[in-house]
Structure 1
Amino acid sequence: MTSTSEVPPFPMPRARGCPFDPPPTLRGLQREGPLAKVELWDGSTPWLVTRYADQRAVLTDRRVSADMSNPHYPRQGPGIVGSLSFIGIDDPEHARLRRMVGSVFTVKNVAAMRPAVRRIVEEAVDALLAGPRPVDLVEAFALPVPSLVICALLDVPYADHDFFQTRSRLVVNRTTTGEQRTEAMLGLADYLGGLVAAKVDDPGDDLLSRLAVRIRAGELTHRQATDVAVLLLLAGHETTANMIALSTLLLLRNPAQLALLRDAQDPVVVTRAVEEMLRYLNITHGGRRRFAAADLEVGGQVVRAGEGLVMPTDIANRDPAAFPDPDRLDITRDARHHIAFGFGVHQCLGQPLVRLELELVYRTLFRRIPGLRLAGDFESIPFKHDALVYGVYELPVTW
């Protein structure tokens, strides 16, 4: 067993000048073996699962738990406690809660949303073209697009976006204190709880109303419905906004790939570009977290009951055993087997919607603004090295 003094801290810093790539220490651990001990913010030392096949195996193993309320769960930071709705609990309750909103995010239902999402993207590009230059693409495009989409789906007033975006940023920032994070979560819960309560008396045709109907039927408590609403609002705009901005920057740094995407007549090229971006980049900075509810073997190593498990997506999706030449960005690659959305029963519920948003952004933004380019030096772009959800704080562009 490695001594605590030799255990590296996690998450690790990325190499200077390589903001799109996994940290070198993670790469080294992957080369050394399938498991390694790492030290988290609270001094705990869970196992880091370094390889693609082992991460998939762990994420589908019934002896592994996602229960965030359990003291063995390797938490992301102070103030992050409780279940965070169904993503932080195990079956059968996880499956019961997930089914209540899952039908909204089926491939068929998301496909029916295409005209509405396309209109949001087109209008956001209209606003870019009509506005000043240079402009911060994060504030003017990457953040409004998914925020408008999830607000329409939930029937949350977009006029309140400053309120929920500010609190969302506090929740996902690693430097936020436990007290600040708790206060931000309580603020979101109070806000969305009020909207849910209003839907109980006057339901409509939206996702919050679906939850309200479940409350009236006795299938959900108001607290459970509110927790689901907070999860969907947070996940529905924060991760996608960062993915839009980060992938746009990556394409601007790879003009040959951008030209191939912009000029593509075959829709398969755009679809594959979405999957390759999801594989190549990593938005979930802190890795997926689990703990062993019973003894199990991972990569030839016995993991004892109660030991934590951390699975960083960035090195799994750059594993050469799963993706040949993994550090090469290739939008023609068939990368559909990536695990950017996780794997198993807890994989991201909203992934069809994320794929639709990214596809429409890539189809629209670069064709309508073919001269899009950075307004300033790449070295001056502020990356979110301090956040649980990785991206850029600002992306100044012009054309």
Structure 2
Amino acid sequence: MVRRLAAVVLMAASVLVLSPAPAHAASCGYQSKPVAAPKISVTSWAQRLLDLPRAHQLATGSGVRVAVVDSGVDRRHPQLAKAVQTGWDVTTGGSGGTLDCQRQGHGTAIASLIGARPASDASLVGVAPQATLLPIRVADNDPATDAPVSAAALATAVTESERLGADVIHISYSLAVDDARLRAAVARAIKSGVVVVAAAGDGLPGPSYPAAYDGVVGVGALAASGDVLDGSARGPHVDLVAPGEQLVAAARVGGHTVVGGTPAAAAVVSGAAALLRGSHPQWTNEEVVRRLLATADGTAGGTGNAAFGQGSVNPYRALVEPAATVGAVPTWAPAPATLAQAPTRPGWPGSWRVALACAALFGLGAAGLLTGRAVARTHRQRHRPSG
């Protein structure tokens, strides 16, 4: 989960100051008026790694509805205004969701990673920049707090997401305890054809829910170093990893902030799922999930293991490559320009660029394959086609 929304502008010395008051201050019960944050135009390591311009030449997520289960989404942000429709507010039991009372605008930031529209003066663009976002507001607190949202609230959020016609459901929250109501709601959504993506959680020693439920894509966070982000969950419920450190995202009202953690990583995967749903509307949710798993990139830590799952999500590969057997070692190599543009800062050392290239070109060693088999089998079982 996101531990905090960092207030550091990427690759710059200036500090991003977040407004202490949430959006729609009067409705949220705060006195201070929200203020837009500064804009960020610097391209992050994650944007370079994902290489979204290539993917967007093939798909943008147009026509796909993505439910964002979080703290709500402030649709006043210029890059979200045309993306966000009215969703559902679990806290009031009625339509809404466009109220983001979390002090750091958590839901707004996460939603922008999925579907922010491009802007000429900003580096931020969502993974699926033409997707429709359905905000499902469940709480005001940051998912990384010690007071997580209740299982009942999450179950309602999933049910309402399905009712509103979501094609993809993104869930930022992780619970340490299984819950029958939440499990049933997720199972119904998956049975109806929805792709469900959930943060694997940060700082949780064991399985987290709903990420651990069958059919759900559980996502861990990849650090800029190429390793798993410190605190990102490990275990058989981690199916994929995605960039989860220092991601440029939308702040409440306007401007940008920097986020990280497994909810941010899950947002990247949710966006990739939206690209596939838009590009292949005839595919089942199982086919979408299998493609995401089969086309994931190899990582510096290998694949088919408890830390990295099947590897790092690659939206472009998912769009262009035929589905392979889940757990197979990727042999695709990033375009030379992608590696050349990788920033040579402490968060992205040259050794990781070399490791990425070697993993992509030559695959994993025999030892890595042997140690990953048990976990890989678990992933295949969790996403085995029905029937």
Bucket of the pairwise TM-score, normalised by the shorter protein = under 0.3
More helix by share: 1
TM-score by length of 1: 0.23
Larger radius of gyration: 1
TM-score by length of 2: 0.24
More strand by share: 2
